[in-house]
Amino acid sequence: MRIYTKLQWIGFKLAGVFLMVVSVVLIYYSIFFIEEYQLYSLVTLGNTIVYDGRIITAIGATPTFIYVFFFAFRTILQKGVERLKKGTLIGTVWGLFSLACFIFCMGISWVIPLGLIALDYTLCDEEGDVPGLYYVTKPELCKTIIENH
């Protein structure tokens, strides 16, 4: 093996390890750092709903992170630095599933605020004290959120 081929091989394997580490960190973040009370308040539709669209998008992107992890793992196990010659059925199916999940959740994260407004919820946006995360049934409840925040 020539020296530049060895360097290419090392770079290729290190890139695979880097992708695996990044995807594990993102999977860990989306599993353990998503605030469940925000999803719970959205499902129960109480007087106050805490909603952030990034949470729905992170949940939808989790299958993509899993796909990237196994893709990088496969490139690490491959001999040499050549392009992967043949895809696997599970990789193709999971790739399409993860793409569909991400697109669906991205769209849903834009539609949910419109649905909340259609259900007569009001966005609390008083003087910038509260980020645009709170939706309430009565505008008077915004003042209690600001006092408790």
pLDDT in tens, 103-115: 999 999 899 888 8
Whether 136 has a pLDDT exceeding 60, the answer reads yes
Read off the pLDDT band of 97 (50, 70, 90): very high
Q: What angle do CA 25, 23, 58 make, to 5 degrees?
A: 80
Read off the pLDDT band of 42 (50, 70, 90): confident
pTM greater than the 0.95 cutoff = no
Q: What is the pLDDT of residue 128?
A: 56
Which stretch of 15-19, 69-73, 140-144 has the lowest confidence by average pLDDT? Answer: 140-144
- Output the six-digit token pair for 84: 């992967």
For the sheet containing 122-123, what is the strand order? 48-50, 134-136, 122-123
Q: What is the pLDDT of residue 121?
A: 86
